[in-house]
Each structure stands twice: as structure tokens, then as C-alpha cells.
Structure 1
Amino acid sequence: MLYLLAGLLLSAPTVLAEPRNLKDWSTPIVLDRSGGFQIGGVIKQSPTDPARTLSCDHGYMEYFIPWEPRRTSVVLWHSSSTQVWQNRWDGGQGFKDMFLRRNYPVYLWDGPRVGRANWACEPTSYRPEYRDQDNFAAWNFGPSFGNWWPGVQFPADDPAAWQQATSARYQEFDTYDNVQLHARVAAVAADSGKVGKNIVYMTNSAAGLRAQLTATRSNTTNIKGIFAFESIGFVFPDNVNITDTRGGFGPVVVPLEEFKKLAKVTTIQFFWGDHRAANEAGVVQSRLAAQLINQYGGNAQVVMLADDPSLKGSTHVAFADLHNAKVAGLLDQILNRNGLDSYEGSSDDWWWRK
């Protein structure tokens, strides 16, 4: 059973090292180029007139390439909003600019049927759901609407910040078929070389499941990392006693040989914010997924951010929290430790030695 197997890991401590002393998160951003492109998808013929077609179910990638780029591309992936990567909750600097300042090529990804890739091959519908208040607890701002966690890294006294947070959404299609579609198209993007040959996905929420599944669908070794903030859903092999729910939030079960591709990813990190109990379903599943990845020679860890006193107060969206520079510092250290921060044309991180 899922929870029995995962229980073996609950006693394993999570060790967080101090982020290395960052030189600066405020150096000028100097770009070589920026732009965007559609990728994947199909051309569908009209059922009534085969001469007429619809280009649909593609993904959209916006890119920013620094003047002196590192080898690793950072793909920022949220299942329902790219905006959360662009700014902190209070409007301060977000991960997009932070990693550009560190000279990583940065890509903002909209999967098929959402955001800027919303032309679908099948009918879709939108039905208003009055869920602003539900977002509050779901995003771990507090136990119930308006009741903030003490010390939460959100500008709780700023109503405009809350309104920005709950408005920054696309329509999200959390179905099994959509998860599979996103993974197929993202794998096309990863294998194309258009996003580079050293890709690290930084994901949030339901995008974590999609990124894991993408790695199992990819036919190259271009995917080097997955940094999943509070992943909703996990991928498991078909040789353990786990049932694929065929739902939008996993678990998703794949053939063992496909699952082993996750063990070839250089580093996989599952991050959790505050107030996540050790026996919470998502935490339990993340520990089991990490155990199974490592069993086949992988390098996966579960990181409880609150174990580091400097990262307490983290929400479901720690990369947009007020202390997001410290969170980015931790990721910067992990990239360095796994050899994912070198520059094009060099085996050394020459910028760091300046």
C-alpha cells in the first residue's frame, strides 16, 4: 500500500544546508534575445470541410536568453498561471528576473489549452466557480479564509496583494487526459533542443505531476532537474501496489522502464512549505516517489522548507513569498552542488569567481 511503503521514510531527517552567499540578486539583466514560440500540437481537419484546418493543442514558450548564458535553462511551469513566477506577492522581484540576473536562460511555459496556448482540439467550457476564499487555505496562507498563519511570508496587511494573488489564474483543466496531453507536448519541447540540452523545470502545484510525467515521456536526456514546489500528484512505477486513479491529481502509474527515466534526471527536489504534517497525503506520496526514484539510482529528495529557520513562513507558492530570495538561494546552491550552474563554453562557473 502507498502509505505503508511511505511510512518507512517518515523518520528520515531532511538536512538543509545554508544557501551559498549570493554575490548579488540585483545586477543588471543583459539579454541577447527574447521571444516566444508555439511547439507540439496537431493540425486538425474540419469534419465538414477537409480543406479547412485548425492548429491546436500546442504549447507556448516565452524565452529570455542572457548575454552570457549558463548551460542550464530554467523552465518556469505553473499549471494555471505564469504570472506567479514574474513577481513576489507584494510586486517585488520574482524568480524570472532573479534567475536571469544569475544568467540562466529563463522560459515561461503555458501548456496546451491554457494561457497563451488556449486553442484546443476538443470543445472546452468555462463555468464560474466562486473559489477565491478556497484559494486562501489551498495556497497555505492560513487555516481558513482571512486567518493568516503567524509569521506567514505574505503581505497579509495588503488587500491588493491578496487580490493580485487570487486573480493570477488561467482556467485549469485538471483531468487525466489533460495531464497526459501536457506531458506529451512538454516532452516534444524538451526533446526539440529549442529549450537547450540542460533543462531544469521549476514547478508549482499540479505542474509538478505534469513535469514528472514529461520526464518519463522524453526520449532524450535533456531534462536535468525538477524542482517541484508542493507538487499535487506523483508518478509511480507499475511494479508496486499503487492504483492509477485516472484523475487529474494522480497518482499516475507508468511502466517501470519509463519510470526509470526519472532516475536519470540529475536532481529532483520536492519542496513543502509550512504546516505540512508528515502524514499528509502529498508529503507521504512525495517521500515514496523519492524513495522509488533513488532505488533505481536516482537523486531525489524531499525538502521541508520550515526545517531551515530562515525559510519559515513558506506558503504553497514559496517562490513568490516575501523571502523568495532566500528560497532562490537554496535552489542556487542545489544547482551548484549538482553541476548545473556552469557557463556555455566553460567547465567552470567563472562568474562566481569574479
Structure 2
Amino acid sequence: MPLLQRAALTALLALAVPLIAFAQDQEPIALRGMGSFHIGGRLVEISGKPVKEVTFTAGGVPAKVDPNGTYQVEQMYVQYFLPAKERGTVPLLMWHGGGLTGVTYETTPDGREGWLTMFLRKGWAVYNSDAVERGRSGWAQYPDIFKGEPVFLTTANPFERFRIGAGPGSYDPDPAKRKLLPGNQFPNEGYENFVKQNVPRWTTTDDAILAAYLAEIDKVCPCVILFHSQAGTFGFKAAQARPDKIKALVAVEPAGVGDIAKADVLKAIPTLMIYGDYIEQDSRWPTIRATGVKFAEAIKAAGGTAEVVDLPKVGIKGNSHMLMMDKNNAEVAGLIQTWLEGKGLTRQP
């Protein structure tokens, strides 16, 4: 192995050293505050619709509902937790992927601690959101406002697409008959709870989602943004739009990137990209990863810092696309925490 490659691998392996302490750190969580708010959105007028008579409660008295008028739409729900002893120098924003909500970072499907409270224990003020058209952010009429139709996923789809199972046909309703990728860390026993988290998503709402994320940044930041999958596009584009407010980016298997022609805008923002296992065995992920690496290289070519970590190469193996839910989620969180500390974004206890 060439000397430079060996040095780079040694540096990445060093990230894994403190991970056991992260997993065992279970002191009670002390908060100085918590709450929530809705941010962003716009008012939309709808007209020309017929008045309907609706019975809202079984056996109730019907009421006339006029759908014509002004609607509040495309807002985003954000929940925040402020630790009593804040050690992150700025808040940590968590953005989830497609067809999911902020539940992504909460308790894992099999009942273990999720990243939200793990990072809260480390002294980060955490802001966890449900993106536009997800969860508590709410829907809007379609196709009047949300163009097109929502996409719904079968119970088998995430198992076969998120590098949990061994490709098409690997899912079975019986957990014992499912064909997991060898050594896969996703909690198969909690898979039914995972698919209960899945929500419809649109493919035509990207502009609205990004606008709400920018509104959150304007309200909360400067900050660090940790984002996953579909939110890759939003995380990078938001940072390109508000570079003065972003102190670091943590891209967890980003499915999309920002404007590569404007990669130089991110040169002052430390960036970490993390990819899990089984990439080479998948039909889509080699291309997705290559796009992310190309974007990271563009940032570096512009004089910035962008580190790409393939977890198996640093000894963290078996990760699906849902790294924050996998059985070794504390190890991955520890790697992120160590990286953030190395960038000077934490205070000493």
C-alpha cells in the first residue's frame, strides 16, 4: 500500500477509537428546554371547486364545506431539544430521507437509542424536523398544489432497496425466511416497525422542501447539518445558499448533491460523507456513491475540506442504507462525533 494511502487509512481508523465510550454513555438527559415550531410555507388560493356536504363524525350532523379560499401550505415541523450543559458550539440540525420523517433519528425500530438522544447526551442542541409533506408538517391538495401523485412503498421495497436484503425477492413476511445480506446490521426483528414509519412522498416538491429548510436555517443557525439520503440535495444546496451560516456538513449516504458548478461556495465548510456496506453489490449505489465522491472532489479542488468515509474500510461493517437504525448505530455516531470534535465544534465538558 502506498505511503499516502496508508496514512489516510490510519487517520480514518483513528476515528473509530472513541466509539465504545459513545455507546456506553447512558447518563440521564438534562434539558434546559424543549419545544417545537412550524417554519416556512406560503398561502395559496383555490377557487372553482364545488361545495361539499361532509359528515365528520359517524352519526353526526352533516356540514357544508366550501373548499374555495386561502390555504396555508408547505410549512415544516421542527422539534428541538436544548441540553442543560451545551457542548456543541452550534446547534445540530437533523434532516431525514425520502418517504420518512424525523422519526428516523429517534428510537430505533427495535427499541434502542437513536441518534437524536445520542447526540443530545453529548451536549448538542438538536433540531429534528419533518420535511414538507411529511408527518406533522402536513399535506396539501394535489394536483392543485402538490403536482402529481404521492409515491407509496410496499413493505418489501425498503428491505430490498435499502441494502438490507439480498436484492429482489429477499423479503418475506416471516422474519425467519428473509434473506439478509451476510452480516447485515439492520435489526430484522424490528423491520415491521420500520415500515410503519414510511409515509407517502412526492417527487415534485423539492423547491418547497428546500425553501422550508432555508427558513429553518435563517431562524436557528449558525449550525451543523446532518442529513440522510434524499436530503443530500437539500443539505448541499442549502449550504450553498447560506454558506455563512453552516459550520459543517455531515452527509449520511447522500442520494443527491448540490450544484457542482458552485462547489467552491462550500470550501470554507468542513464536509464529511459517510457510506455503509454492500455498495458494490447493489445495482444503484455504485453510481450514487460515485456522484457523491465527484462532488467531494470538486469541493477539495476548490480548496475545501471534504472527507469520504466508507465504513467497512475503517472497520465498521454490515451497515445498510439506514445507518442510524443499524445495530452498530452507536459506532457510526461515535465516528461523526469524533470528526466534529476534530473540527473544533465542541466545548470541553
TM-score range, shorter chain: 0.7 to 0.9
- Report the CA distance between 1:129 and its aligned residue: 4.0
Select which of 172, 197, 204 maps to 2:228.
204
User: Is 1:155 the equivalent of 2:200?
Assistant: no
Quick check: 2:101–2:129 contact (8 Å CA) kept in 1? no
Q: What is the CA–CA distance in structure 1 between the aligned matches of 2:114 and 2:162, rounded to whole Å?
A: 17
Deviation track 1:196-237 (CA, whole Å, cap 9, x = no partner) reads 42x22222211111111111222x522122212211112233
Select which of 73, 84, 93 maps to 1:75.
93
Q: What is the CA–CA distance in structure 2 between the aligned matches of 1:125 and 1:288, rounded to whole Å?
A: 31
Residue pairs, 1:12-91, within 5 angstroms: 15-21=12-18, 22=21, 24-47=24-47, 52-70=69-87, 71-79=89-97, 80-91=100-111
Match of 1:346 in 2: none
Number of residue equivalences: 304
Match of 1:217 in 2: 241
Q: What is the CA–CA distance in structure 1 between the aligned matches of 2:146 and 2:257, rounded to whole Å?
A: 28
Letter in 2 for 1:261: V
Select which of 143, 154, 157 maps to 1:134.
157
Deviation track 1:138-179 (CA, whole Å, cap 9, x = no partner) reads 1111222221112111233x2xx010112212222233xx22
Quick check: 1:180–1:210 contact (8 Å CA) kept in 2? no
Letter in 2 for 1:63: Y
Select which of 191, 196, 202 maps to 2:218.
191
Quick check: 1:38–1:60 contact (8 Å CA) kept in 2? yes
Q: What is the CA–CA distance in structure 2 between the aligned matches of 1:126 and 1:142, rounded to whole Å?
A: 28
Q: What is the CA–CA distance in structure 2 between the aligned matches of 1:123 and 1:191, rounded to whole Å?
A: 25
Match of 1:331 in 2: 336
Q: What is the CA–CA distance in structure 2 between the aligned matches of 1:180 and 1:217, rounded to whole Å?
A: 13
Quick check: 2:105–2:114 contact (8 Å CA) kept in 1? yes
For normalisation by structure 1, the TM-score amounts to 0.78
Task: Give the aligned CA root-mean-square deviation in angstroms.
Answer: 2.6
Q: What is the CA–CA distance in structure 2 between the aligned matches of 1:166 and 1:201, rounded to whole Å?
A: 25
Q: Which moved more, 1:272-281 or 1:165-174?
A: 272-281
For normalisation by structure 2, the TM-score amounts to 0.79
Quick check: 2:152–2:201 contact (8 Å CA) kept in 1? no
Q: What is the CA–CA distance in structure 2 between the aligned matches of 1:120 and 1:225, rounded to whole Å?
A: 33
- Report the CA distance between 1:126 and its aligned residue: 5.7
SS at match of 2:339: helix
Q: What is the CA–CA distance in structure 1 between the aligned matches of 2:341 and 2:106, rounded to whole Å?
A: 23
Q: What is the CA–CA distance in structure 2 between the aligned matches of 1:305 and 1:85, rounded to whole Å?
A: 19
Letter in 1 for 2:338: Q
Match of 2:55 in 1: none
Residue ranges of structure 1 left out of the alignment (5+ in a row) = 1-9, 239-255, 343-348
Q: What is the CA–CA distance in structure 2 between the aligned matches of 1:277 and 1:34, rounded to whole Å?
A: 42
Letter in 1 for 2:241: R
Match of 1:289 in 2: 295
Quick check: 2:39–2:215 contact (8 Å CA) kept in 1? yes
Quick check: 1:206–1:232 contact (8 Å CA) kept in 2? yes
Identity of aligned residues (%): 26
Quick check: 1:126–1:171 contact (8 Å CA) kept in 2? no
Match of 1:272 in 2: 275
Match of 2:120 in 1: 100
CA distance 1:222–1:96, shift in 2 (3 Å): same
Q: What is the CA–CA distance in structure 2 between the aligned matches of 1:337 and 1:128, rounded to whole Å?
A: 40
Letter in 1 for 2:28: P
Match of 1:251 in 2: none
Q: What is the CA–CA distance in structure 2 between the aligned matches of 1:65 and 1:96, rounded to whole Å?
A: 11
